[in-house]
Structure 1
Amino acid sequence: MGDDVTVSQPDRLDRQILSHLVHDGRATYQELSREVRLSASSVAERVRHLRAAGVIRGYRAELDAAALGRPLTMVSEVRLRESTVRREFAASLAAIPQVVAGSRLTGDYDYELRLACRDAAEFESIVDRLRADHGVVAIRSRMVLHDLEIDPGGLAGLE
């Protein structure tokens, strides 16, 4: 038999745990247990099941690009040449550390990339590199003025 874990849809307590973890991914099982009024061992078991089911994909530090010397954030939609293999394009983005996020799209453009750059000159060099080395035929970019503070914990409350 395999190690497949089948988990039903998260229940109300799972969703409460998820909501707290979204706001503080470093919360201990003890802290979570106080928030949801379960024992720490029960919380730990629920978190293990949520991880095994793929509901929780991981824990990450949220970085401030400006504090790291990259105050210019750009959102760029790119269209690939017909001959470009999409899987290879996506993998090639790992070689461009200024690309900090991306999504495959429907519509006129193939991908949306989020870039964190020092300045306009660095952004221009990334655009040139995408065109020359990564199969990009068209690019449409916009500068991010500021990000919105949207609570990602709301997703945990959806049924």
Structure 2
Amino acid sequence: MDRIDRQILTILLADGRATYQELGRQVRLSANTVAERVRRLQASGVVRGYRADLNLATFGRGMELLSDVRLREGVDRKGFEEHLPQVPQVVGAMRLTGDYDYQLRMACTDAHEFETVIDRLKADFGVRELRSRLLLHEVPLGPDRLLEP
């Protein structure tokens, strides 16, 4: 990966919908050359996909939380992961090392809905313990900082 690839990635992180023409203009290459570079970055696994960053509050889910989750002894982790999509309030999940097994990012309408989710996770998903924090706001650091040589 060279300096131009890093420039292309920086632009795509800011605007994943940037056209090859726009990318080419910014890095001073033809659209075809940029397209080939982007395809190579995708094929090598550097670019894994493109996604929309949604404002969950516009869906009535303005209460975002981070919850550290410890599973009960003997709970199948793969099964837990496979069943998480059944809980629409869980919008992200990460497997962890340390005292907790997972960190879940949840978006709820209010405390009552959050309590319902906690009860469901404990009753149906083998969760033994949750430690939750209300997310006040995200600090936009951006992964483009990793692209610095």
Name the counterpart of 2:107. Answer: 116
Instruction: Compute the TM-score of the two structures, normalised by the length of structure 1.
Output: 0.91
Question: Structure 1 residue 155: deviation in Å?
Answer: 2.1
- Give matches, 1:143-154, under 5 Å: 143-154=134-145
1:21 equivalent among 12, 36, 40: 12
Question: Structure 1 residue 93: deviation in Å?
Answer: 0.6
2:91 equivalent among 55, 79, 100: 100
Report the secondary structure of 1:73's partner residue.
strand
Bigger mean CA offset, 87-96 vs 20-29: 87-96
Say if 2:67 is the partner of 1:65. no
Name the counterpart of 1:31. Answer: 22
Partners of 2:60 and 2:19 lie apart in 1 by 32
Question: Structure 1 residue 43: deviation in Å?
Answer: 0.3
Q: Percent identity?
A: 58
2:81 equivalent among 56, 67, 90: 90
Unmatched segments (≥5 aa) in structure 2? none
Partners of 1:141 and 1:112 lie apart in 2 by 9
Partners of 1:118 and 1:155 lie apart in 2 by 34
Over the aligned positions, Cα root-mean-square deviation in angstroms equals: 0.9
Unmatched segments (≥5 aa) in structure 1? 1-9
Partners of 1:145 and 1:13 lie apart in 2 by 36
Amino acid at match of 1:77: D
Report the secondary structure of 2:61's partner residue.
coil
Moved over 2 A (4+): none
Partner deviation per Cα, 1:93-150 (whole Å, 9 max, x = no partner)? 1111111111111111000000000000000000000000101011111111111122
